[in-house]
Structure 1
Amino acid sequence: MAILTGSCRFGLWYVHVTWQDDLVYRVRFARTGLPGPVPDEVVRYCAGRPADLSSFRSIATEGDSTFARIYRAVRAVPRGETVTYGEIARRVGTAPRAVGSAMAKNPTPLVVPCHRVVAKTGLGGFSPDVTIKEALLAIERRERVGGVNR
């Protein structure tokens, strides 16, 4: 099967996804959309409906690099919960700055839910706009409060 690229809406943003079967190569947020398909679970997630993204693999988690280990630790953070950069660093045996660097370079946000990693004193950053991080966390909190935690 060919590698596919498409986008779906997420509020004022579009989520571009490059994927093949269950492997996601890239996810990014942009102001303009791209024609093409997006996995149904991603569309549901972006619409604020219950969706399970755990069945997708990410190219970011492959291998044994420090970043791959960080990305795997972040994937283990339950939906609707947050952890600090320092907590992930302790789990992986690295420094919080390395975790921050990995989050900034995460090629597959949503699949590797970097929005669940926060600073000790606040939200921390998110590219291209921290309001996206706030919206993603709000969706997950609503689902958790509503009794749906996938």
Structure 2
Amino acid sequence: MQVRLFGHEREIDDSRIDAAPATIDEQLGEYEAGERTAFDLEIEYPDDFTGAVMRAMMRIPAGETRTYGDIAADLETAPIAVGQACGRNPVPVIVPCHRVVGVDSLTGYGGGLDLKRRLLEHEGATIPGSSES
């Protein structure tokens, strides 16, 4: 399903979410309005490893970021493997892969770095490589 957040189009695989599209839209609208920081939706993970990375991403509070290396250390794997799993996230924003960043800069995001920056700004996060970091 196509969703629009902060003026950007994003594809979300709603077949991976155990909820009606209207519920997904409602929760995304609440997020954009600043009324929600996490989603109450049951997610089907693509595979075990990606699921572990997705669960780690969902534990990152809004307004905070973690590096690929932070998550890799927690899962005892390589940062590149975490990045690849982030790229397989079928439900971006709902599972907040935008909160995973490089050590000193924003890196890769399927919706583009402008949207990643906008999502992090919306949540009040310090953005690596910006003048505030």
Name 2:8's counterpart in structure 1: 13
Bigger strand fraction:
1
> Could you list the per-position Cα deviations for residues 99-119 of structure 1 after superposition, in whole angstroms to 9, with x for gaps in the alignment?
000111110111210000000
Answer with 1 or 2: which has the greater Rg.
Answer: 1
How far the C-alpha of 1:18 sits from its partner, in A, is 4.8
TM-score, normalised by the number of residues in structure 1:
0.70
Identity %: 30
Amino acid at match of 1:43: G
Q: Which has the higher helix share?
A: 2
**Distance in 2 (alpha carbons) for counterparts of 1:111 and 1:78:** 13
Please tell me the root mean square deviation across aligned C-alpha atoms, in Å. Answer: 2.4
Change (3 A) 1:52 1:128: closer
1:95–1:18 Cα change, 3 Å: closer
| 1:41 aligned partner | 27
Instruction: Work out which of the residue numbers 117, 123, 135 in structure 1 matches 2:118.
Output: 135
Cα 1:103–1:17 change in 2 (3 A) is closer
The amino acid of 1:14's aligned partner reads E
TM-score, length-normalised on structure 2?
A: 0.78
* CA pair 17-70 structure 1, distance change in 2 beyond 3 A: closer
Which structure 1 segments of 5+ residues have no match?
25-35, 143-150
**Offset from partner CA, 1:107-136 (integer Å, 9 cap, x none):** 011121000000012111111311000000
d(CA) in 2 for partners of 1:72 and 1:91?
A: 12
Query: Distance in 1 between the 2:87 and 2:25 partners?
Result: 24
Q: Unaligned stretches of 5+ in structure 2?
A: 126-133
Letter in 2 for 1:42: L
Distance 1:19 1:100 in 2: 22
**Structure with greater contact order relative to length (CA < 8 Å, sep ≥ 6):** 2
Residues 58, 111 of structure 1: 8 Å contact kept: no
Aligned pair count? Answer: 122
Moved over 2 A (4+): 14-20, 36-39
